[in-house]
Chains A and B, each alone.
Chain A
Amino acid sequence: DAKTTQPPSMDCAEGRAANLPCNHSTISGNEYVYWYRQIHSQGPQYIIHGLKNNETNEMASLIITEDRKSSTLILPHATLRDTAVYYCIASEETSGSRLTFGEGTQLTVNP
Chain B
Amino acid sequence: NAGVMQNPRHLVRRRGQEARLRCSPMKGHSHVYWYRQLPEEGLKFMVYLQKENIIDESGMPKERFSAEFPKEGPSILRIQQVVRGDSAAYFCASSPRGISTDTQYFGPGTRLTVL
Docked complex Cα distance between A99 and B93 (Å): 10
The 0/1 profile, CB within 8 Å of B marked 1, for residues 72-111 of chain A is 0000000000000001000111111111111110000000
Q: Are A104 and B109 touching (Cβ within 8 A)?
A: no
Question: How would you classify the secondary structure of chain A's contact residues: helix, strand, loop or mixed?
Answer: loop
B72: interface (CB < 8 Å): no
Q: Are A101 and B42 touching (Cβ within 8 A)?
A: yes
Q: Are B109 and A97 touching (Cβ within 8 A)?
A: no
Which residue of B43, B95, B101 is within 8 Å of A44 (Cβ)? Answer: B43
Q: Are B106 and A102 touching (Cβ within 8 A)?
A: no
Nearest CB in chain B: distance from A5 CB, A = 14
Q: How many cross-chain pairs have Cβ atoms below 8 Å apart between A and B?
A: 71
Which residue of A93, A94, A98 is within 8 Å of B48 (Cβ)? Answer: A98
B104: interface (CB < 8 Å): yes
Q: Which of chain A's residues has its CB closest to B59's CB?
A: A98
In the complex, chain B residues whose CB is within 8 Å of the CB of A43? 4, 91, 93, 106-109
A interface residues, tally (CB under 8 Å): 24
Nearest CB in chain A: distance from B59 CB, A = 7
Docked complex Cα distance between A92 and B31 (Å): 17
Q: Are B31 and A97 touching (Cβ within 8 A)?
A: yes
With A42-B109, A43-B4, A46-B105 known as contacts, the answer to whether A98 contacts B42 (CB < 8 A) is no
Docked complex Cα distance between A44 and B59 (Å): 18
With A41-B89, A43-B91, A44-B91 known as contacts, the answer to whether A97 contacts B42 (CB < 8 A) is no
**B contact set with A: CB distance below 8 Å:** 4, 31, 33, 35, 37, 42-45, 48, 55-56, 58-59, 89, 91, 93, 95, 98-109
